[in-house]
Amino acid sequence: MSGISLILGPLREFCENGRLRVITTAYLGYTEYEALHELFRLPNTEVRMELEADRSRIHAKSFIFGREDGRGTAFVGSANLS
């Protein structure tokens, strides 16, 4: 929750008119149920979680922010929001 709590307000605002897609994994057991629950509650949001931690080890994080004028910004790295 430490990461999502920082951006939950702006995410809610974005999801009123935009589409959010989140991909996560059970790898290392760090994904918190409460954080996923908050994401599932957002409108226009798709959340996918890979449960086979032996096969998928997603570590990279990417954040893509699109603007109404069609431009956008993407960040790819390994830093957590928290």
pLDDT in tens, 40-64: 999 999 998 877 766 666 666 777 7
Please tell me the predicted confidence (pLDDT) of residue 40.
92
- In angstroms, rounded to a whole number, what is the distance separating the alpha carbons of residues 47 and 58? 15
Tokens of residue 45, six digits: 């949001």
The 10 Å CB-count burial string (b at 16+, else e) for 7-17 is ebeebeebbee
What's the pTM value of the predicted model, to 2 decimals? Answer: 0.64
Helix axes 33-41, 4-15, angle to 10 degrees: 10
Between 55 and 8, the higher pLDDT residue: 8
Please tell me the predicted confidence (pLDDT) of residue 35.
87
Please tell me the predicted confidence (pLDDT) of residue 45.
93
Number of H helices, E strands in the chain: 2, 4
Cα(first)–Cα(last) distance of the chain, in Å?
A: 9
Please tell me the predicted confidence (pLDDT) of residue 51.
74
